[in-house]
Structure 1
Amino acid sequence: MSIVVDQDGVEDVVTRARLEVRTGAAWAAWEVATAAHADLAAPVAARQERGGVQGGLGERVLPVVWACVAPGERPGYPAVLETFLVRHEERLKRLFSQYGTGSAGAVDAEPGRCELYASPVSLMVLERLTGSGSRVRLAGHWKNEDLDQSWLKDAATAWDVTP
Protein backbone atom coordinates (compact mmCIF):
# COMPACT_ATOMS: atom_id res chain seq x y z
CA MET A 1 0.00 0.00 0.00
CA SER A 2 1.42 3.36 -0.97
CA ILE A 3 1.46 6.32 1.36
CA VAL A 4 -0.43 9.37 0.16
CA VAL A 5 0.82 12.71 1.45
CA ASP A 6 -0.69 16.17 1.23
CA GLN A 7 1.12 19.29 0.05
CA ASP A 8 2.80 19.66 3.46
CA GLY A 9 4.11 16.10 3.40
CA VAL A 10 1.57 14.86 5.96
CA GLU A 11 0.02 11.46 5.34
CA ASP A 12 -3.53 11.86 4.03
CA VAL A 13 -5.36 8.77 5.25
CA VAL A 14 -8.71 9.79 3.79
CA THR A 15 -7.29 10.20 0.30
CA ARG A 16 -5.59 6.81 0.64
CA ALA A 17 -8.87 5.32 1.86
CA ARG A 18 -10.69 6.90 -1.09
CA LEU A 19 -8.37 4.94 -3.40
CA GLU A 20 -9.09 1.68 -1.54
CA VAL A 21 -12.88 1.77 -1.16
CA ARG A 22 -13.73 0.06 -4.42
CA THR A 23 -11.71 -3.06 -3.65
CA GLY A 24 -11.39 -5.87 -1.17
CA ALA A 25 -12.77 -5.54 2.32
CA ALA A 26 -14.03 -1.98 1.81
CA TRP A 27 -16.20 -3.09 -1.08
CA ALA A 28 -17.35 -6.17 0.84
CA ALA A 29 -18.32 -3.96 3.79
CA TRP A 30 -20.24 -1.67 1.41
CA GLU A 31 -22.16 -4.69 0.11
CA VAL A 32 -22.96 -5.81 3.68
CA ALA A 33 -24.21 -2.31 4.50
CA THR A 34 -26.24 -2.09 1.29
CA ALA A 35 -28.03 -5.38 1.93
CA ALA A 36 -28.75 -4.52 5.57
CA HIS A 37 -29.86 -1.00 4.67
CA ALA A 38 -32.41 -2.38 2.21
CA ASP A 39 -33.92 -4.48 5.02
CA LEU A 40 -33.79 -1.79 7.71
CA ALA A 41 -34.88 1.19 5.65
CA ALA A 42 -37.41 -0.52 3.39
CA PRO A 43 -40.44 0.04 5.64
CA VAL A 44 -40.10 3.83 5.45
CA ALA A 45 -37.75 4.58 2.59
CA ALA A 46 -39.11 5.99 -0.62
CA ARG A 47 -35.63 6.07 -2.16
CA GLN A 48 -32.35 4.31 -1.50
CA GLU A 49 -28.83 4.63 -2.79
CA ARG A 50 -28.33 1.56 -4.95
CA GLY A 51 -25.92 0.33 -7.56
CA GLY A 52 -22.72 1.10 -5.71
CA VAL A 53 -21.00 3.87 -3.94
CA GLN A 54 -20.20 6.12 -6.90
CA GLY A 55 -22.06 9.39 -7.26
CA GLY A 56 -23.96 9.37 -4.00
CA LEU A 57 -23.53 10.27 -0.40
CA GLY A 58 -21.57 7.04 0.04
CA GLU A 59 -18.87 8.28 -2.32
CA ARG A 60 -18.23 11.22 0.01
CA VAL A 61 -18.63 9.48 3.36
CA LEU A 62 -17.28 5.95 2.80
CA PRO A 63 -13.62 7.04 2.45
CA VAL A 64 -13.93 8.95 5.73
CA VAL A 65 -15.34 5.89 7.49
CA TRP A 66 -12.77 3.59 5.88
CA ALA A 67 -9.94 5.86 7.04
CA CYS A 68 -11.14 5.19 10.61
CA VAL A 69 -10.69 1.44 10.23
CA ALA A 70 -7.11 0.51 11.12
CA PRO A 71 -5.25 -1.18 8.25
CA GLY A 72 -4.86 -4.37 10.27
CA GLU A 73 -8.62 -4.49 10.93
CA ARG A 74 -9.68 -3.88 7.34
CA PRO A 75 -9.66 -7.47 6.04
CA GLY A 76 -12.05 -8.50 8.83
CA TYR A 77 -14.20 -5.38 8.82
CA PRO A 78 -17.10 -6.86 6.81
CA ALA A 79 -17.51 -9.48 9.57
CA VAL A 80 -17.26 -6.76 12.24
CA LEU A 81 -19.99 -4.83 10.45
CA GLU A 82 -22.19 -7.93 10.16
CA THR A 83 -21.78 -8.63 13.87
CA PHE A 84 -22.71 -5.03 14.66
CA LEU A 85 -25.81 -5.27 12.45
CA VAL A 86 -26.99 -8.48 14.11
CA ARG A 87 -26.24 -7.23 17.63
CA HIS A 88 -28.06 -3.93 17.09
CA GLU A 89 -30.80 -5.01 14.67
CA GLU A 90 -33.76 -3.91 16.80
CA ARG A 91 -32.11 -0.63 17.73
CA LEU A 92 -31.32 0.05 14.07
CA LYS A 93 -34.91 -0.73 13.07
CA ARG A 94 -36.14 1.81 15.61
CA LEU A 95 -33.63 4.40 14.43
CA PHE A 96 -34.65 4.02 10.77
CA SER A 97 -38.34 4.09 11.66
CA GLN A 98 -37.73 7.37 13.50
CA TYR A 99 -35.20 9.08 11.19
CA GLY A 100 -35.05 7.13 7.91
CA THR A 101 -36.24 8.51 4.61
CA GLY A 102 -39.98 9.07 4.70
CA SER A 103 -40.25 8.78 8.48
CA ALA A 104 -42.00 11.40 10.58
CA GLY A 105 -38.63 12.49 12.00
CA ALA A 106 -37.19 13.03 8.53
CA VAL A 107 -40.28 14.82 7.29
CA ASP A 108 -40.28 17.20 10.28
CA ALA A 109 -36.50 17.81 10.24
CA GLU A 110 -34.74 20.69 8.54
CA PRO A 111 -33.96 19.81 4.92
CA GLY A 112 -30.94 17.51 4.68
CA ARG A 113 -30.71 16.72 8.40
CA CYS A 114 -31.65 13.05 7.95
CA GLU A 115 -29.97 12.64 4.55
CA LEU A 116 -27.29 10.31 5.95
CA TYR A 117 -29.92 7.65 6.70
CA ALA A 118 -30.84 7.45 3.01
CA SER A 119 -27.48 5.78 2.37
CA PRO A 120 -26.11 2.39 3.42
CA VAL A 121 -22.98 4.19 4.61
CA SER A 122 -25.04 5.34 7.59
CA LEU A 123 -24.70 1.83 9.03
CA MET A 124 -20.93 2.01 8.81
CA VAL A 125 -20.99 5.45 10.45
CA LEU A 126 -23.09 4.08 13.32
CA GLU A 127 -20.74 1.11 13.72
CA ARG A 128 -17.75 3.45 13.96
CA LEU A 129 -19.62 5.61 16.50
CA THR A 130 -19.80 2.65 18.90
CA GLY A 131 -16.09 2.76 19.78
CA SER A 132 -14.61 5.80 21.51
CA GLY A 133 -11.33 5.69 19.55
CA SER A 134 -13.01 5.26 16.19
CA ARG A 135 -15.57 7.91 17.15
CA VAL A 136 -12.80 10.47 17.75
CA ARG A 137 -11.06 9.58 14.46
CA LEU A 138 -14.37 9.74 12.62
CA ALA A 139 -15.17 13.21 13.97
CA GLY A 140 -11.70 14.47 13.02
CA HIS A 141 -11.75 13.09 9.48
CA TRP A 142 -15.37 14.22 9.05
CA LYS A 143 -14.44 17.79 9.89
CA ASN A 144 -11.31 17.73 7.71
CA GLU A 145 -13.31 16.51 4.72
CA ASP A 146 -15.85 19.30 5.21
CA LEU A 147 -18.83 16.96 5.46
CA ASP A 148 -22.07 18.31 6.89
CA GLN A 149 -21.45 18.34 10.66
CA SER A 150 -25.17 17.96 11.39
CA TRP A 151 -25.14 14.47 9.81
CA LEU A 152 -22.55 13.18 12.27
CA LYS A 153 -23.96 15.08 15.24
CA ASP A 154 -27.49 13.86 14.54
CA ALA A 155 -26.32 10.27 14.05
CA ALA A 156 -24.35 10.40 17.30
CA THR A 157 -27.33 11.87 19.16
CA ALA A 158 -29.69 9.24 17.76
CA TRP A 159 -27.15 6.53 18.67
CA ASP A 160 -26.76 8.08 22.14
CA VAL A 161 -23.04 8.83 21.92
CA THR A 162 -20.93 11.98 21.73
CA PRO A 163 -19.07 12.48 18.41
Structure 2
Amino acid sequence: MPASPFTCVGFLPSIDERCTHIILGSMPGAASLKAQQYYAHPQNRFWRLMAYLLEGGEPPQGYAARLQMLLRHHIALWDSIASCEREGSLDAAIREVKPNDFSALLARYPRLSTFCLNGGKAAAIFRSANKSLLKRTDLIFHTLPSTSAANARWRFDDLKRAWREALPIDH
Protein backbone atom coordinates (compact mmCIF):
# COMPACT_ATOMS: atom_id res chain seq x y z
CA MET A 1 0.00 0.00 0.00
CA PRO A 2 1.55 3.36 -1.01
CA ALA A 3 2.22 5.95 1.65
CA SER A 4 -0.30 8.75 1.86
CA PRO A 5 0.79 12.33 1.19
CA PHE A 6 1.46 14.55 4.14
CA THR A 7 0.96 18.26 4.65
CA CYS A 8 4.07 20.33 3.98
CA VAL A 9 4.26 23.82 5.42
CA GLY A 10 6.86 26.18 4.02
CA PHE A 11 9.18 28.59 5.79
CA LEU A 12 8.98 32.29 6.47
CA PRO A 13 10.81 34.40 3.91
CA SER A 14 14.44 35.36 4.39
CA ILE A 15 14.17 39.06 3.56
CA ASP A 16 14.99 42.56 4.70
CA GLU A 17 13.95 46.05 3.62
CA ARG A 18 16.94 46.38 1.23
CA CYS A 19 15.98 43.42 -0.96
CA THR A 20 15.30 44.12 -4.62
CA HIS A 21 15.28 40.50 -5.84
CA ILE A 22 13.49 37.45 -4.54
CA ILE A 23 14.22 33.83 -5.42
CA LEU A 24 11.20 31.56 -5.19
CA GLY A 25 11.26 27.80 -5.04
CA SER A 26 8.12 25.70 -5.04
CA MET A 27 8.07 23.98 -1.61
CA PRO A 28 11.10 22.77 0.38
CA GLY A 29 11.84 19.08 -0.10
CA ALA A 30 11.88 16.50 2.66
CA ALA A 31 15.53 17.13 3.61
CA SER A 32 14.93 20.87 3.81
CA LEU A 33 11.76 20.49 5.84
CA LYS A 34 13.54 18.15 8.26
CA ALA A 35 16.50 20.54 8.62
CA GLN A 36 14.24 23.63 8.59
CA GLN A 37 16.59 25.17 6.01
CA TYR A 38 16.09 26.20 2.41
CA TYR A 39 17.95 23.96 -0.07
CA ALA A 40 19.31 21.60 2.59
CA HIS A 41 19.63 18.54 0.33
CA PRO A 42 23.38 18.11 -0.27
CA GLN A 43 22.87 17.42 -3.99
CA ASN A 44 20.88 20.61 -4.64
CA ARG A 45 23.12 23.07 -6.44
CA PHE A 46 21.44 26.23 -5.15
CA TRP A 47 23.97 27.36 -2.52
CA ARG A 48 26.97 26.44 -4.66
CA LEU A 49 25.47 28.39 -7.57
CA MET A 50 24.65 31.46 -5.48
CA ALA A 51 28.12 31.55 -3.89
CA TYR A 52 29.78 31.22 -7.28
CA LEU A 53 27.67 33.88 -9.00
CA LEU A 54 27.45 36.38 -6.15
CA GLU A 55 30.88 36.10 -4.53
CA GLY A 56 33.01 33.98 -6.83
CA GLY A 57 33.68 31.25 -4.28
CA GLU A 58 32.31 28.38 -2.25
CA PRO A 59 29.16 28.70 -0.12
CA PRO A 60 29.55 29.60 3.54
CA GLN A 61 29.39 26.57 5.84
CA GLY A 62 26.62 27.73 8.17
CA TYR A 63 23.02 28.21 7.13
CA ALA A 64 22.74 31.68 8.72
CA ALA A 65 25.84 32.76 6.80
CA ARG A 66 24.31 31.48 3.56
CA LEU A 67 21.16 33.53 4.13
CA GLN A 68 23.33 36.56 4.99
CA MET A 69 25.23 36.11 1.71
CA LEU A 70 21.96 36.51 -0.18
CA LEU A 71 20.85 39.48 1.92
CA ARG A 72 24.23 41.21 1.32
CA HIS A 73 23.32 41.14 -2.35
CA HIS A 74 19.74 42.33 -1.68
CA ILE A 75 18.25 38.93 -2.49
CA ALA A 76 15.31 37.51 -0.55
CA LEU A 77 14.39 33.83 -0.46
CA TRP A 78 10.94 32.28 -0.21
CA ASP A 79 8.61 29.85 -1.99
CA SER A 80 5.60 30.11 -4.27
CA ILE A 81 3.72 27.67 -2.03
CA ALA A 82 2.77 28.29 1.61
CA SER A 83 1.50 24.73 2.13
CA CYS A 84 0.58 21.67 0.12
CA GLU A 85 0.08 17.91 0.22
CA ARG A 86 3.03 15.90 -1.05
CA GLU A 87 4.55 12.46 -0.72
CA GLY A 88 8.35 12.63 -1.00
CA SER A 89 10.19 15.64 -2.38
CA LEU A 90 9.38 15.80 -6.08
CA ASP A 91 7.49 18.81 -7.40
CA ALA A 92 5.40 16.47 -9.55
CA ALA A 93 3.86 15.03 -6.36
CA ILE A 94 2.61 18.41 -5.07
CA ARG A 95 -1.17 18.63 -4.60
CA GLU A 96 -3.67 20.85 -2.74
CA VAL A 97 -1.59 23.99 -3.05
CA LYS A 98 -2.06 27.08 -0.90
CA PRO A 99 0.10 29.86 -2.44
CA ASN A 100 2.02 32.47 -0.51
CA ASP A 101 0.64 36.05 -0.49
CA PHE A 102 2.96 38.12 -2.66
CA SER A 103 0.73 41.20 -2.74
CA ALA A 104 1.16 41.47 1.03
CA LEU A 105 4.90 40.84 0.72
CA LEU A 106 5.25 43.62 -1.87
CA ALA A 107 3.27 46.00 0.34
CA ARG A 108 5.68 45.28 3.20
CA TYR A 109 8.84 45.27 1.02
CA PRO A 110 8.23 47.79 -1.79
CA ARG A 111 11.85 47.66 -3.10
CA LEU A 112 11.25 44.13 -4.43
CA SER A 113 11.12 44.35 -8.20
CA THR A 114 12.64 41.15 -9.61
CA PHE A 115 11.22 37.66 -9.12
CA CYS A 116 13.50 34.71 -9.90
CA LEU A 117 11.39 31.55 -10.16
CA ASN A 118 13.53 28.49 -9.42
CA GLY A 119 12.07 25.82 -11.70
CA GLY A 120 8.92 25.15 -13.62
CA LYS A 121 6.67 24.23 -10.69
CA ALA A 122 7.61 27.38 -8.75
CA ALA A 123 6.87 29.42 -11.86
CA ALA A 124 3.57 27.68 -12.64
CA ILE A 125 2.22 28.06 -9.10
CA PHE A 126 3.36 31.68 -8.85
CA ARG A 127 1.87 32.60 -12.22
CA SER A 128 -1.47 30.90 -11.57
CA ALA A 129 -1.89 32.59 -8.17
CA ASN A 130 -0.59 36.07 -9.06
CA LYS A 131 -2.16 37.12 -12.34
CA SER A 132 -2.55 40.73 -11.22
CA LEU A 133 1.14 40.99 -10.27
CA LEU A 134 2.17 39.63 -13.67
CA LYS A 135 0.46 42.66 -15.28
CA ARG A 136 2.53 45.17 -13.32
CA THR A 137 5.12 46.93 -15.47
CA ASP A 138 7.35 47.73 -12.49
CA LEU A 139 8.04 44.05 -11.78
CA ILE A 140 10.36 41.67 -13.66
CA PHE A 141 9.86 37.88 -13.72
CA HIS A 142 12.50 35.31 -14.64
CA THR A 143 11.63 31.64 -14.98
CA LEU A 144 14.91 29.84 -14.35
CA PRO A 145 16.02 26.21 -14.53
CA SER A 146 15.69 24.39 -11.25
CA THR A 147 18.82 23.97 -9.16
CA SER A 148 17.53 20.59 -7.94
CA ALA A 149 19.65 17.53 -8.59
CA ALA A 150 16.49 16.05 -10.17
CA ASN A 151 17.07 18.56 -13.01
CA ALA A 152 20.13 16.61 -14.16
CA ARG A 153 19.96 17.73 -17.78
CA TRP A 154 21.11 21.20 -16.67
CA ARG A 155 24.81 21.02 -15.89
CA PHE A 156 26.32 23.50 -13.44
CA ASP A 157 27.84 25.62 -16.24
CA ASP A 158 24.42 25.81 -17.93
CA LEU A 159 22.82 26.91 -14.66
CA LYS A 160 25.48 29.62 -14.22
CA ARG A 161 24.73 31.07 -17.64
CA ALA A 162 20.95 31.02 -17.16
CA TRP A 163 20.92 32.44 -13.63
CA ARG A 164 23.60 35.12 -14.19
CA GLU A 165 21.18 37.23 -16.23
CA ALA A 166 18.61 37.43 -13.42
CA LEU A 167 20.77 38.25 -10.41
CA PRO A 168 22.34 41.52 -9.19
CA ILE A 169 25.96 40.52 -9.80
CA ASP A 170 28.63 43.16 -9.17
CA HIS A 171 31.75 41.30 -10.31
Superposition TM-score, scaled by structure 2 size: 0.31
User: Under a length normalisation based on structure 1, what TM-score does the superposition of the two structures give?
Assistant: 0.32
Structure with greater helix percent = 1
Normalized per residue, the structure richer in strand is: 2
Higher relative contact order (CA 8 A, sep 6+): 2
